[in-house]
Each structure stands twice: as structure tokens, then as C-alpha cells.
Amino acid sequence: MSGPAAERPENRILPLSDGRQVGYVCYGAELGHNVFYCHGLPGSRYECLLVDTPARALGIRVIAPDRPGYGLTSPDHARPLKHWTQDIAHLADRLGIDSFDVIGVSGGAPCALACAHELPQRVTSVALVAGLGPVCETSLRRDMSGFARLAFYLGNRFPRLFAAAVGWPTVQLSRRRPDLLIRLLAALDGMPDKAVLLDPLIFPAFTFSIQECFRQGVLGGLQDLRLFRQPWGFRLENIRQPVQIWHGTRDRVVPPSHSEYLAAHLPRAQLTIVPDEGHFSLPLRHMREILQTFIA
């Protein structure tokens, strides 16, 4: 397992025609195979620090934007999930990229699949890592932890209560004691996630990402909880690109049943279940192998 870069990379801003902006960072090779990275829920462009080393070794350029309400990207309260793909298309145009692959990690999975559906002429293939399934499906929500079910319920039915009871304390911890927040997360997830989250080579990258994802408070998280809980607005069966799906057997955050559901409904999916890996340990320990599927 290789450690991420020790310093924050150069931030970039893309102004949009509607007055909003998208913040993003480029990782890996300066020129190479192009992959867009969709971060988790919550997350930020700094989450991709953990991808920089293997991407550079493989000659892959990874573009990691913040979603609306996270980091440096403006909120977009009225958007459906599919609207996110317009930001990706504009960013690809700005960078002179015609076609690209997409990787979605955890809560980034719905966004990666939306890109594949809405941009079929540009998205070549998709990789989903510990990906969240359509939680509008009762069976998939039932498989999740009690805290996750509560978060989706409060975030949709009582967003102000969620913001006060969960969001505000989390934001304060991220700003004052991000180390404590990561240690709490590690304790809840257990082994093997605890081992990687507390690794001295990994810890700084998680600290950067945690601080940045709550730069605007809980706007991004609340918006994702709402969008992901609703029907996504497209049929998985209509996604024709190849989709590689990876999931760990010891994932306590997103159960493997989510990836099994996605694999069953995507026409060209290949599911890889990795024994004894958790939600965070899977992408950290297997990212080089996952990225290789884009250039195989």
C-alpha cells in the first residue's frame, strides 16, 4: 500500500455559465488515460489523494471534482441527479477531453452511473468501488446499518433536525478535531478499515478530505441524501458501457448486497467480491488493480 502525497495539490476552478463554479484537482500523470473520479458521501476532491500514486505509475490522469455543496463547488439546490453530468461534460470540454472513463467510490457510484447514462458517447467504461445502490429500494435500505437508515430518513423527512443533530456536530469536529472524527469513524467501522484509516501514511489524506468536504457545512451531504434516496431518474438496464464492480465482504458502511443488485441490473457488469476487505480498505489496498481495468 502506497501513501498519498503529503501536501494538498493545486486547486482549480471552472466557472459555469449559470454563475456557479466547480472546484477540482488533477492527479496522477500530467498526460495520460483520462478518468473522472466521483467521491463518496460525504467526500471531496482531496479524497483522490489516495489515488495519486497508483495513477501516476499507470500513466492515468484522474480528474476529481467536488460535487455541488462540497468543497469549492457551488450548491445547486434544484438539480436532479442527472444534472451533475452537465458539470462533468463542461469540465471535460474545458480540459479538451473527448472521451473518458468514470470511477465512483461509495456514494460516488450513483453519480458515475448517471454520467454513463447521460453521456454515452463520451463515457467509455465505469468502475464502482464499494458503491451505493439505489436506496429507494426498501431491501437495500434494510441491509444498511441503523445509523445509515436514520441518516437517509432524517435527511429526507426532517433535514433541519438532521442538520442540527448530526450535521452541526460533525462539521464542528471536522474543523476543530478532524483527527478525532476519523478515529471515531475507524472505531465504528472496525477491522480492516480501522487499520488503514489510522495508518500514518493514509491519515493526512483523510484529514484533508474531511475538512474540505464540510467547507460549506452540510449542504452537500444533505443534497446527496435527498438525491440518492429518490429514484435516480434513469434505468440501470439502459447503461451499455462495461461496468467493473468491486466490493469487500466486510464492508459495514455499504453492504455487498448493493453491488450484487447493481451487477444484476447492469447489462455489462462484472462483479468482483474481495474477501476480508472493508469499505475503506478495499479502494486503498486495491486501487492499482482497479485502475488497471481502464487500460487493460
Based on the number of CB atoms within 10 Å of its own CB, is 31 exposed (0-12), middle (13-18) or buried (19 or more)? Answer: exposed
Between the CA of residue 170 and those of 167, 202, 211, 221, what are the distances in Å?
5, 21, 10, 11
The predicted structure's pLDDT at residue 1: 42
CB 287 within 8 A of CB 28: no
The predicted structure's pLDDT at residue 7: 64
3-class secondary structure per residue, the chain = CCCCCCCCCCCEEEECCCCCEEEEEEEECCCCEEEEEECCCCCCHHHHHHHHHHHHHHCEEEEEECCCCCCCCCCCCCCCHHHHHHHHHHHHHHCCCCCEEEEEEHHHHHHHHHHHHHCCCCEEEEEEECCCCCCCCHHHHHHCCHHHHHHHHHHHHCHHHHHHHHHHHHHHHHHHCHHHHHHHHHHHHCCCHHHHHCCCCCHHHHHHHHHHHCCCCCHHHHHHHHHHHCCCCCCHHHCCCCEEEEEECCCCCCCHHHHHHHHHHCCCEEEEEECCCCCCHHHHHHHHHHHHHHHC
R_g of the chain, CA atoms, integer Å: 17
| Local confidence pLDDT in tens for the 296 residues of the chain | 444 444 678 899 999 998 999 999 999 999 999 999 999 999 999 999 889 999 999 999 999 999 999 999 999 876 889 998 999 999 999 999 999 999 999 999 999 999 999 999 999 999 999 999 999 999 999 999 999 999 999 999 999 999 999 999 999 999 999 888 888 888 878 788 888 888 888 888 888 899 999 999 999 999 999 999 999 999 999 999 999 999 999 999 999 999 999 999 999 999 999 999 999 999 999 999 999 999 98
Chain position carrying cell 470511477: 103
What is the number of structural domains in the chain? 1
CATH number, domain at 239?
Answer: 3.40.50.1820
Question: Does some domain include residue 203?
Answer: yes
Question: Does some domain include residue 3?
Answer: no
Question: Does some domain include residue 215?
Answer: yes
Distance CA 265, CA 22 (A): 31
Chain position carrying cell 464499494: 130
Question: Does some domain include residue 135?
Answer: yes
Domain extent, residue 138, equals 12-295
Question: Does some domain include residue 5?
Answer: no
Question: Does some domain include residue 169?
Answer: yes
Q: How many residues comprise the chain?
A: 296
Based on the number of CB atoms within 10 Å of its own CB, is 169 exposed (0-12), middle (13-18) or buried (19 or more)? Answer: exposed
Distance CA 271, CA 258 (A): 11
CB 254 within 8 A of CB 130: yes
Question: Does some domain include residue 184?
Answer: yes
Distance CA 126, CA 128 (A): 7
